[in-house]
Structure 1
Amino acid sequence: MRWFFVLIVMLNGVFYLAHKSERGFDVLSERLDLASSNGNIELLAERGGEAVEQPPRDLVPAPSASEEVCLVLGPYSGEADFESDWAGLPGLRVYLEEYERGADYWVYLGPYSSLAAATKMGGELRAKRIDNFVIRKGELKDAISLGVFTDAERAATHAKGLSKKNYEAKIRRIAKLANRYWLVFRGERGGDEYSRTESVMAKLQDNNKKLGEKDCNLIASYKQFD
């Protein structure tokens, strides 16, 4: 019976050691799992070979093309004035500009329904010693002019005087248009051709004409001279 008791004690010891070993393995496994899931930073590059997304770089603007501008020499009052300069610079073009060189202020009555009606009123005015003439063409055709002035105030004063005589005159501003010519080179600022042409055009300046640089859009309304 004694050996049987010793055998039971030995078996209990074996079971105890086996149970303790399994418990230690479980604790160690839990610690390893916690360590792998907490407190570590995983890089995208370390995950299955996936590419790391780089932050966007600042975009660098592409260099702009050379700016196109117009070199303008003038004004010339007529064809005879620019012909010699134009002949020496075959790369240039001539542009015609219509511009307002001044204005007149017309004091008038009418217009009337016909030339006959205007003539009749003109006779009435002359009988009262009011100078006038019948306008036969233009914007004020069949009206009666009572005076033409270059100054707006003088025209207004004259109209006021006629009002006192019971004639309600009107005032019309009539622009005086004229033509002038320009030699124009169109090209890229800073280019070789631009620099050469600018140098030649600069030598043609005098008291009446000057060389300048303009936005080509500003001369778009000019008429090209053939």
Structure 2
Amino acid sequence: MRWIVYSLILINLTLAAYFLYFRPVAAVSVSPRVAAEAAPQLTLLREEQDAPARPAVKPGTKLCYALGPYEDDLSIRIAQARAKELSLTGIVNPVEVPLDREAEYWVHIPPLESRSEAMDTLRALQKQNVDSYIITQGDLAEGISLGLFHKEESAARLASKVGKLNFNVAIREIGKSRTEYWLEIREITRLDDKTRQRVKATDQGVDWQMIGCKHQGNR
């Protein structure tokens, strides 16, 4: 009888061990949608760093490179000529920039056909005792400066006086704003660092910017 008792005890221990260590675990079903929502959404720092900067322009606006600002029309025309030599289309865009100061009034004779004609006009003015000098730079180059006044009435009196001597006299209001000139180039895919440097050359105080093209039409 004793071996029967021992056999029953051994069988019970074996069954207990089986259910303890080999009992199947119920499978848990997780829907793909729940799993996706539970997964953390990660953005790699490198991805953010490598993302190209987007200029603040309206959707659909064509982008151009612009070189500037130039202070006078002559300098930007030279840069425009350099761009043309590289088969690039450069358009000169004048931009009025407001200044925080009172206006002044420049009495002058508009640009003449040549320096020789400007010299002849200067001599004629000096014979009439009119203080004057030749303008050598800017869009009034080869014109004659007669004086700069804070009051418009003073400028008008001088203009009237010189005009009676049969000279063509004009008054320009300056000081409220100044004109900057930018060279716009649309062939941006061709403007690598080397090409941009060739267009800029040794010009000081100017740099390249990416802008929305001022001229949207096809050329």
Same fold (TM over 0.5): no
| TM-score (ref. length: structure 1) | 0.37
Bigger Cα Rg: 1
Q: Scaled by the length of structure 2, what TM-score is found?
A: 0.38
